[in-house]
Chain A
Amino acid sequence: MNNYVAVIGLEIHIQLKTKSRMFGNASNDVWQTSPNSITSPVDIGLPGALPVPNKEAIRYTQQFGYVLECTINKQSKFDRKNYFYPDLPKGYQISQYDEPFCSNGLLDIKVNNQVKTIRIRRIHLEEDTGKSLHIDGRTLLDFNRSGTPLMELVTEPDFASADEASEFAKIIQEAVVILGISDADMEKGNMRLEANISVKKQDQSDLPNYRVEVKNINSFKFMRNAINYEIDRQIKALEIGEILNQETRGWDEKKGITFIQRSKENAHDYRYFPEPDIPPFVFDDEYINELSQNLPKMPWVYELELIESGVNEPFANQIAHNQEKNQMYLQLVRENPQKSQNEIAKVVINRKSINEMRDYLNKQLDQSVSSKNTILTEDQILAVINIFPDAVNDLKAGKSNALQFLIGQIMREHKGQVDAATLPSVLIRLIGGSN
Chain B
Amino acid sequence: MNLHNLTIREIIEGYTLHKFSSTELFAEILGHIDQNETKINAFITNRTTEEIFSDVTDNLIAIPIAHKDIYSTQGIETTAASNILKGYIPPYNATSVKRLSTNNFITIGKLNCDAFAHGATGENSDFGPTLNPYDLTKTPGGSSSGSAAAVAAAFVPVATGTDTGGSIRLPASFTNTVGIKPTYGRVSRYGVIAMTSSTDSIGHFTKTVWDNAYILSKTAGFDPLDATSSHEPVPDYLLEIDKRINGVKIGIPREYLLNIDSVILNKFNEAIDILSHLGAEIVDVSLPSTEYAINAYYIITPSEVSSNLARFDGIRYGFDRSKFGQEAKRRILIGTYCLSAGYYDAYYLKAQKVRTLIINEFKNTFKNIDVLLAPVSPIMPPNIGELTNDPLKLYMMDVLTVPVNLAGIPSLSVPAGFDNNLPIGIQIIGNYFSEKLLYQIGQAFETETQYYKQTPKITERNNE
Does A82 lie at the interface of the complex (its beta carbon under 8 Å from any beta carbon of B)? Answer: yes
Which of A53, A271, A279 has the largest count of B CB atoms less than 10 A from its CB? A271
Restricting to B51-106, which residues have a CB under 8 Å from any CB of A?
70-72, 78, 80, 85, 88, 90-92, 94
A42-50, A203-211, A254-262, A421-429 - the one binding chain B: A42-50
Least Cβ–Cβ distance between B415 and chain A, in angstroms: 31
Does B307 lie at the interface of the complex (its beta carbon under 8 Å from any beta carbon of A)? Answer: yes
Does A250 lie at the interface of the complex (its beta carbon under 8 Å from any beta carbon of B)? Answer: no
A41 touches B91 (CB 8 A): yes
B72 touches A48 (CB 8 A): yes
Least Cβ–Cβ distance between B76 and chain A, in angstroms: 13
B192 touches A86 (CB 8 A): no
**A80 and B225 contact, Cβ closer than 8 Å, known pairs A47-B193, A271-B339, A276-B197:** no
Restricting to B180-205, which residues have a CB under 8 Å from any CB of A?
189-194, 197-198
- The interface bits of chain A over 23-53 (1 if a CB of B lies within 8 angstroms of the residue's CB, else 0) are 0000000000000000001001111111111
Least Cβ–Cβ distance between B143 and chain A, in angstroms: 16
Q: How far is the CA of A337 from the CA of B344 in the complex (A)?
A: 67
Q: Tell me the interface secondary structure of chain B in the complex.
A: loop
B336 touches A271 (CB 8 A): yes
Which of B78, B312, B339 has the largest count of A CB atoms less than 10 A from its CB? B339
Q: Which residues of A contact B348 (CB under 8 A)?
A: 273
- The interface bits of chain B over 298-332 (1 if a CB of A lies within 8 angstroms of the residue's CB, else 0) are 00000110110111110111000000000000000
Least Cβ–Cβ distance between B66 and chain A, in angstroms: 17
Interface size class of A (residues with CB under 8 A): 20 to 34
Q: Which residues of A contact B191 (CB under 8 A)?
A: 41, 48-49
**A90 and B310 contact, Cβ closer than 8 Å, known pairs A82-B339, A271-B344:** yes
**A277 and B90 contact, Cβ closer than 8 Å, known pairs A45-B316, A86-B313:** no
Q: How far is the CA of A143 from the CA of B311 in the complex (A)?
A: 14
Does A314 lie at the interface of the complex (its beta carbon under 8 Å from any beta carbon of B)? Answer: no
Least Cβ–Cβ distance between A139 and chain B, in angstroms: 9
Q: Which residues of A contact B190 (CB under 8 A)?
A: 48-50
Q: Which residue of B lies closest to A25 (CB)?
A: B225
Does B227 lie at the interface of the complex (its beta carbon under 8 Å from any beta carbon of A)? Answer: yes
Does A278 lie at the interface of the complex (its beta carbon under 8 Å from any beta carbon of B)? Answer: yes
Least Cβ–Cβ distance between B242 and chain A, in angstroms: 37
Kindly identify which residue among A41, A48, A143 contacts B194, using a CB–CB cutoff of 8 Å: A48
B227 touches A277 (CB 8 A): yes
B339 touches A53 (CB 8 A): no
Does A180 lie at the interface of the complex (its beta carbon under 8 Å from any beta carbon of B)? Answer: no
B90 touches A47 (CB 8 A): yes
Q: Which residues of B contact A273 (CB under 8 A)?
A: 303, 307, 339, 344, 348
Q: How far is the CA of A141 from the CA of B314 in the complex (A)?
A: 13
B85 touches A50 (CB 8 A): no
B227 touches A50 (CB 8 A): yes
B224 touches A52 (CB 8 A): yes
Does A189 lie at the interface of the complex (its beta carbon under 8 Å from any beta carbon of B)? Answer: no
Does B13 lie at the interface of the complex (its beta carbon under 8 Å from any beta carbon of A)? Answer: no
Does B16 lie at the interface of the complex (its beta carbon under 8 Å from any beta carbon of A)? Answer: no
B316 touches A41 (CB 8 A): no
A48 touches B192 (CB 8 A): yes
Q: Which residues of B contact A89 (CB under 8 A)?
A: 311, 316
Q: How far is the CA of A152 from the CA of B28 in the complex (A)?
A: 61
Least Cβ–Cβ distance between A153 and chain B, in angstroms: 25
Does A296 lie at the interface of the complex (its beta carbon under 8 Å from any beta carbon of B)? Answer: no
B310 touches A84 (CB 8 A): yes
Q: Tell me the interface secondary structure of chain A in the complex.
A: loop
Q: How far is the CA of A44 from the CA of B90 in the complex (A)?
A: 12
Does B365 lie at the interface of the complex (its beta carbon under 8 Å from any beta carbon of A)? Answer: no
Q: How far is the CA of A41 from the CA of B74 in the complex (A)?
A: 12
Does B449 lie at the interface of the complex (its beta carbon under 8 Å from any beta carbon of A)? Answer: no
Q: Which residue of A lies closest to B304 (CB)?
A: A276
Q: Which residues of B contact A278 (CB under 8 A)?
A: 227-228
B311 touches A90 (CB 8 A): yes
Q: Which residues of A contact B307 (CB under 8 A)?
A: 80, 82, 91-92, 271, 273
Q: Which residue of A lies closest to B90 (CB)?
A: A46
Does A269 lie at the interface of the complex (its beta carbon under 8 Å from any beta carbon of B)? Answer: yes
Least Cβ–Cβ distance between B54 and chain A, in angstroms: 25
B340 touches A48 (CB 8 A): no
Least Cβ–Cβ distance between B201 and chain A, in angstroms: 13
Q: Which residue of A lies closest to B85 (CB)?
A: A47
Q: How far is the CA of A197 from the CA of B226 in the complex (A)?
A: 42
A46 touches B317 (CB 8 A): yes
Restricting to B339-366, which residues have a CB under 8 Å from any CB of A?
339-341, 344, 348
Least Cβ–Cβ distance between B221 and chain A, in angstroms: 16
Least Cβ–Cβ distance between B406 and chain A, in angstroms: 13
Q: Which residues of A contact B71 (CB under 8 A)?
A: 48
Q: How far is the CA of A49 from the CA of B88 in the complex (A)?
A: 15
Least Cβ–Cβ distance between A54 and chain B, in angstroms: 11
Q: Which residues of A contact B344 (CB under 8 A)?
A: 271-273
Restricting to A71-113, which residues have a CB under 8 Å from any CB of B?
80, 82, 84, 86, 89-92
Which of B70, B310, B312, B340 has the largest count of A CB atoms less than 10 A from its CB? B310
Least Cβ–Cβ distance between B383 and chain A, in angstroms: 32
Q: Which residues of A contact B317 (CB under 8 A)?
A: 46-47
Least Cβ–Cβ distance between A5 and chain B, in angstroms: 32
Q: How far is the CA of A45 from the CA of B307 in the complex (A)?
A: 12
A277 touches B228 (CB 8 A): yes
**A46 and B340 contact, Cβ closer than 8 Å, known pairs A52-B225, A80-B307, A277-B228:** no
Q: Which residue of A lies closest to B336 (CB)?
A: A271
Q: Which residues of A contact B227 (CB under 8 A)?
A: 50-53, 277-279
Least Cβ–Cβ distance between B267 and chain A, in angstroms: 36
Q: Which residues of A contact B226 (CB under 8 A)?
A: 50, 52
A45 touches B341 (CB 8 A): no
Restricting to B202-231, which residues have a CB under 8 Å from any CB of A?
224-228
B315 touches A141 (CB 8 A): yes
Q: Which residues of B contact A277 (CB under 8 A)?
A: 194, 197, 227-228
- The interface bits of chain A over 261-295 (1 if a CB of B lies within 8 angstroms of the residue's CB, else 0) are 00000000101110011110000000000000000
Q: How far is the CA of A89 from the CA of B318 in the complex (A)?
A: 13
B80 touches A47 (CB 8 A): yes
Q: Which residues of B contact A279 (CB under 8 A)?
A: 227-228
Q: Which residue of B lies closest to A83 (CB)?
A: B310
Restricting to A337-372, which residues have a CB under 8 Å from any CB of B?
none
Q: Which residues of B contact A269 (CB under 8 A)?
A: 340-341
Least Cβ–Cβ distance between B304 and chain A, in angstroms: 6
A91 touches B310 (CB 8 A): yes
Q: How far is the CA of A344 from the CA of B227 in the complex (A)?
A: 55
Least Cβ–Cβ distance between B189 and chain A, in angstroms: 6
A271 touches B340 (CB 8 A): yes
- The interface bits of chain A over 319-341 (1 if a CB of B lies within 8 angstroms of the residue's CB, else 0) are 00000000000000000000000
Least Cβ–Cβ distance between B115 and chain A, in angstroms: 13
Q: Which residue of B lies closest to A45 (CB)?
A: B311
Restricting to A111-147, which residues have a CB under 8 Å from any CB of B?
141, 143
Q: Which residue of B lies closest to A52 (CB)?
A: B227
Q: What would 18 more interface pairs be, CB under 8 Å, given A47-B88, A82-B339, A273-B303? A: A41-B92, A45-B316, A47-B78, A47-B80, A47-B194, A47-B312, A48-B72, A48-B94, A48-B194, A50-B228, A52-B226, A84-B310, A84-B313, A86-B315, A92-B307, A271-B341, A277-B194, A277-B228
Interfacial residues, chain A to chain B (CB-CB below 8 A): 41, 44-53, 80, 82, 84, 86, 89-92, 141, 143, 269, 271-273, 276-279
A–B Cβ pairs within 8 angstroms, 30 of them: A41-B92, A44-B316, A45-B311, A45-B316, A46-B91, A47-B72, A47-B88, A47-B311, A47-B312, A48-B90, A48-B189, A48-B190, A48-B194, A49-B191, A50-B194, A50-B226, A50-B228, A80-B307, A82-B310, A84-B313, A90-B311, A91-B312, A92-B307, A92-B310, A269-B340, A271-B341, A272-B344, A276-B304, A277-B197, A279-B227
A-B pairs, 6 with minimum CB distance: A91-B310, A276-B197, A271-B339, A48-B191, A276-B198, A47-B193
